[in-house]
Amino acid sequence: MRLRVKLREYYASEGALDPLIIDVPKGSYTPVFCEAPAEPSTECAIAVLPFSNLSPEPEEYFSDGLTEEIIHALSSIAGIRVVARTSAFAFKHKNSDVREVGRALNVGFVLEGSVRKSGEVLRVTVQLVNTTDGYQVWSRRYDQS
């Protein structure tokens, strides 16, 4: 893919000092955002917070299961350190500031989101947030009916 080559060239030259690195892993069209390392390393750290259940039904097994699947998927990607499920789930039902979460879990990014299911319609909204400044870096909505 041309974009992967262009990104590599950019970060090898003029983008070498950028604080945020954007990558598109091979076999995927979804960008991955990582904080530029302070020392020579390619790892970034992320916490996947429990997704909020915004459905009319009170059961949270679907949103919890989705969160766990995302943790598992991210853990299999080289260069990404993912906070353990039990540590991330300590923030369930807490409206903590992501900057505090970042300090507590020692991560540069937090992935958070919500799940809404009404009948046969499912909507999942996901946000990637930088824990240094609390600003949203990326967001995506997935709809299925």
Q: Using one digit for the tens of pLDDT, what is the confidence trace for 48-97?
A: 999 999 988 888 898 999 999 999 999 988 889 999 999 999 999 898 99
State how far the Cα of 113 lies from the Cα of 60, in Å rounded to an integer. Answer: 13
- Token output for 42: 């390619």
Q: Over the stretch 84-127, which tens digit does the pLDDT of each residue have?
A: 999 999 999 898 999 999 999 999 999 999 999 888 889 999 99
Question: DSSP state, 38?
Answer: S
Q: What are the structural domains, with CATH classification, of the chain?
A: 37-144 (3.40.50.10610)
Contacts of 85 (CB under 8 A, 6+ apart): 67, 68, 71
pTM over 0.85: no
- Helix, strand and coil content of the chain, in percent to the nearest 5, comes to 30, 30, 40
Q: Over the stretch 15-41, which tens digit does the pLDDT of each residue have?
A: 777 788 888 877 777 778 887 766 544
